[in-house]
A and B are shown apart, each in its own frame.
Chain A
Amino acid sequence: MTAEVAVRVEDKLFYNRYLVDSGRPHIKVRPHTTPTPALRTLLKACPGRCYELNDSGQVEVTVDGCLECGTCRVIGEPTGDIEWSYPRGGYGVLFKFG
């Protein structure tokens, strides 16, 4: 049973409530030409699939669907690949159940 199951993460994020702080992303990726191993890891490890490769092969983050778990921070902050903060007070994901 090694077959990958197809999962549409966007659909999952759609269940959630967010208050997006437009123009003030709380996570930033350090500019790079080719992604480091840590950045590559984030493409798969982020539960919100917020990290994606752009057309020129760099890793980009879109924080709109961020679940604020901190996984990317644990992986990418010590290596200097990302800068990580919480969103401003009140913004970001709002769990109704948690």
Chain B
Amino acid sequence: MIEEKFDAIVVGAGMAGNAAALTLAKRGLKVLQLERGEYAGSKNVQGAILYADMLEKLVPDFREDAPLERHLVEQRFWMMDDRAHVGLHYRSDDFNEEKPNRYTIIRAQFDKWFSSKVREAGATVLCETTVTELATDAYGKVIGVRTDRYDGEVHADVVVLAEGVNGLLGTRAGLREIPKANNVALAVKEMHFLPRETIESRFNLKGDEGVVIEAAGTISRGMTGLGFIYANKECISLGIGCLVSDFEKTGETPYGLLERFKQHPSVAPMIDGSEVKEYAAHLIPEGGYKAIPQLYGDGWVVVGDAAQLNNAIHREGSNLAMTSGRIAAEAIFQVKSRREPMTKGNLALYKKMLDDSFVIKDLKKYKDMPALLHNQSQSYFLTYPQLVSKAMASFVRVDGTPKIEKEKTTLRSFVSARSWTGLFGDAFRLARAWR
């Protein structure tokens, strides 16, 4: 049992927890950070794209020693049917800039590095410690945590819940609900190792340039979901995720989806001959703005995935986690410097500051997208990719059919699959939710 009392306890050493602990420790607060893994990152899974801007606000010179894989010069979007894909590629040499904007990373390695910065800033970091419960006083105010390591409690003025998507502590304490099956996606992922030169030639890269591919279509078998393929230095991260509620409905298996994705004729050549070294699974919060729970209370705040702060449309999560962790810490520091208690009223400052940031603004913009994609998953993830692919096939195949006939056939295939009202409705709903 640790007798001393801390200014803040941070639960979790992922993106959000490290950002919060670092910011608090840098401001001179006495911080205890608890992580259940053997080291920071040993339990964490990500694609993974790192957004430089949000990290720069925490560690301005991170490029000097952070374990980064490749800076991204190209982004591809694929719409897939069973045999083909229609792609959009964006590649620009402007991304070969002095301070690149996005990188691929390997989470277990990155988190270890991030955690070393937290320690350097003066926080006490204890790994291999699972927090089992929040400790509260007679009035229900959170006053600390209980762990499986000390038979007793550790106390602090405020607890920062950076416990990730499952959010066990917050849900056990009744601060928020267990994530609903239609608000979380299950992603499975493999790491495929290949010689560096092979990756560079397969993806058309030189040096540390990188590419990411996001893929949607029949690979998710009509479920709301996405596949991804990211190039690292000596390996390729490859995975696919779909809503848990869709897995419930369809009875598809996650590894079955992954296997079919790997065998797709557009994907298989990229990983041909690779050595797989890890198979991971993780949930991703997908409920967006409408799923955000209460973010603060007496003696606690919640940040990152635990607060469902994740932008599924843009595949951004780690940057929202880092930003919410940093903002929560700044709010706590302000309350502390005014020598005021960590009450619900005072911690409302965190919510106010978060509302003013891109985190809530972005999530609000897409507040209707999750429901739309979910309800129309058959159209958006099965019917349209097949139709578009068929249209492309007809467009590029030269077989003596007059072009006017081809156009008519294509149009007919769209109308018979979705009807005019369906087509306009889908377009209208998508545009409205996107706005």
A residues with a Cβ closer than 8 A to B are 1, 4-5, 7, 9, 12-13, 15-16, 19, 41, 44-45, 47-49, 67-71, 73-75, 77-78, 85-90, 92-98
Known contacts being A45-B186, A94-B42, is A5 close to B256, with CB within 8 Å? yes
Bound form: Cα–Cα A15–B274 in Å: 14
**With an 8 A cutoff between CB atoms, is B252 at the interface?**
yes
Chain B interface helix/strand/loop/mixed: mixed
- CB-CB under 8 A from B43, the residues of chain A are 68, 92-95, 98
Bound form: Cα–Cα A70–B2 in Å: 30
Within the complex, what minimum Cβ distance (angstroms) separates A96 from chain B?
6
Asked if B179 and A74 sit within 8 Å, CB to CB, the answer is yes
- Interchain CB contact (< 8 A) of A90 among B106, B127, B237: B127
Asked if A94 and B248 sit within 8 Å, CB to CB, the answer is no
Q: Which residue of B lies closest to A46 (CB)?
A: B254
- Interchain CB contact (< 8 A) of A75 among B42, B132, B248: B248
- CB-CB under 8 A from A4, the residues of chain B are 256
Asked if A74 and B178 sit within 8 Å, CB to CB, the answer is yes
Bound form: Cα–Cα A87–B276 in Å: 26
Known contacts being A44-B247, A47-B188, is A12 close to B106, with CB within 8 Å? no
- CB-CB under 8 A from A19, the residues of chain B are 38
Within the complex, what minimum Cβ distance (angstroms) separates B55 from chain A?
17
Bound form: Cα–Cα A89–B130 in Å: 5
Asked if B244 and A45 sit within 8 Å, CB to CB, the answer is yes
Q: From B94-102, B113-121, B279-287, B402-410, give the one contacting chain A.
A: B279-287
Asked if B281 and A47 sit within 8 Å, CB to CB, the answer is yes
Asked if B255 and A12 sit within 8 Å, CB to CB, the answer is yes
Within the complex, what minimum Cβ distance (angstroms) separates B128 from chain A?
3
Asked if A15 and B130 sit within 8 Å, CB to CB, the answer is no
- CB-CB under 8 A from B45, the residues of chain A are 95, 98
Bound form: Cα–Cα A68–B130 in Å: 13
Bound form: Cα–Cα A96–B67 in Å: 14
- CB-CB under 8 A from A88, the residues of chain B are 130, 148
- CB-CB under 8 A from B44, the residues of chain A are 95, 98
Bound form: Cα–Cα A69–B239 in Å: 14
Asked if B168 and A85 sit within 8 Å, CB to CB, the answer is yes
Within the complex, what minimum Cβ distance (angstroms) separates A92 from chain B?
8
- CB-CB under 8 A from A94, the residues of chain B are 37-38, 42-43
Asked if B278 and A70 sit within 8 Å, CB to CB, the answer is no
**With an 8 A cutoff between CB atoms, is B149 at the interface?**
yes
Known contacts being A69-B186, A69-B283, is A7 close to B244, with CB within 8 Å? no
Bound form: Cα–Cα A74–B278 in Å: 24
Ordered by A's residue number, 14 sampled pairs between the chains whose C-beta atoms are within 8 Å are A5-B256, A16-B279, A16-B280, A67-B279, A67-B281, A70-B165, A71-B281, A71-B283, A73-B178, A89-B128, A95-B107, A96-B277, A97-B109, A97-B235
**With an 8 A cutoff between CB atoms, is B41 at the interface?**
yes
- CB-CB under 8 A from B323, the residues of chain A are none
Asked if A5 and B82 sit within 8 Å, CB to CB, the answer is no
- CB-CB under 8 A from A9, the residues of chain B are 255
- CB-CB under 8 A from B148, the residues of chain A are 88-89
**With an 8 A cutoff between CB atoms, is B355 at the interface?**
no
Bound form: Cα–Cα A49–B258 in Å: 14
- CB-CB under 8 A from B149, the residues of chain A are 89
Within the complex, what minimum Cβ distance (angstroms) separates A2 from chain B?
9
Among A73, A94, A95, which residue has the most Cβ atoms of chain B within 10 A? A95
Asked if A69 and B281 sit within 8 Å, CB to CB, the answer is yes
- Interchain CB contact (< 8 A) of A5 among B130, B184, B190, B263: B263
Within the complex, what minimum Cβ distance (angstroms) separates A26 from chain B?
9
- Interchain CB contact (< 8 A) of B248 among A1, A41, A69, A98: A41
Within the complex, what minimum Cβ distance (angstroms) separates B10 from chain A?
15
Bound form: Cα–Cα A96–B130 in Å: 19
Asked if B281 and A15 sit within 8 Å, CB to CB, the answer is no
Known contacts being A71-B186, A88-B130, is A96 close to B108, with CB within 8 Å? yes
Bound form: Cα–Cα A90–B129 in Å: 7
Asked if B253 and A44 sit within 8 Å, CB to CB, the answer is yes
Asked if A15 and B255 sit within 8 Å, CB to CB, the answer is no
Asked if A74 and B180 sit within 8 Å, CB to CB, the answer is yes
